[in-house]
Amino acid sequence: MRIVIALGGNALLRRGQPMTAQNQRENVRIAAEQISKVYKGNELVIAHGNGPQVGLLALQGTAYYQHVDNKVEAYPLDVLGAETQGMIGYMIEQEMGNLLPKDVPFATLLTQVEVDKADPAFQNPTKFVGPVYEKAEAERLAAEKGWSIKQDGDKFRRVVPSPLPKRIFELNPVKWMLEKGAVVVCAGGGGIPTYYESEGKLAGIEAVIDKDLCSSLLARDLNADMLVIATDVDATYVNWGKPDQKAIFEAHPQAFRDLDFPAGSMGPKVDAACEFAEKTGKVAVIGSLADIEAIVAGKAGTRISTQFNGITYR
């Protein structure tokens, strides 16, 4: 099977952890251990989040800005996204390479993704990036830097526009790498957001594309057999956190969409899974990184497909 695995932010950095290279490597190692279990007999494409990493680079850029005598502009989000794709891809390649046979090739591709500058998302920033702050600190930074901020759990974070992905520019190189037997890491952080200027030139733009929606587009364009959205919960639940919560095992996309999921957390994952299932007739799964092997075997996670009727609970 050709499988696209979208790693959630927890695969790289857990909430509250210091953003050290060692912490990120240890988390990537855990992810690599799980993904390596499904390598045999499958073609693997790995996408990943990058919100905390982009936020850290932005903070480092701000520190430099404050230090130099002649103030310079901070690096824009598209450039920061490109930097993190290389860093995270390096860690994934190395940790996967330590687990799989030595002759397995790997490739990390800088991935540009086209967006529409007229997308309504630019008028309503919603995508969390960077570290969490206490309310007072977040409000101070927002006033100082012109950020938009929103509450994330009991903390606050910066939010930026999250336009819909339209096209993945490096799609053909991804296909070529797969044909040569490579494990491919691409579309990191939802891809580098780019758009065509009025004169037809391609340029970056200040935004962050949702990683799961981009992974869904990637999986469809690659004619993947399965999309796995790996997160920190073992399934999608109704009435999450309440005494009557129930885990969903299988669902038809329309029935799944009819349920109410938070826009800031599970919502984009649900939309991405439904979109893949509706447009391909294949299976998308939302589940725990620790259950990757069982997910691919059809025994874990929440499975979404037009082949299913209604909703089945565990």
* CA atoms of 66 and 223, how far apart (whole Å): 48
Alpha carbon 257 to its chain's center: 20
CA distances from 211 to 58, 72, 194, 240, 258 (A): 19, 30, 15, 23, 22
Q: How many residues does the chain have?
A: 314
DSSP state of 301: S
Residues involved in catalysis: 9-10, 127, 211, 269
Q: Which of 157, 158, 209 is nearest to 188 (CA)?
A: 209
How many Å apart are CA 216 and CA 284, to the nearest integer? 9
Q: Where are the alpha helices (DSSP H) in 37-118?
A: 51-67, 77-97
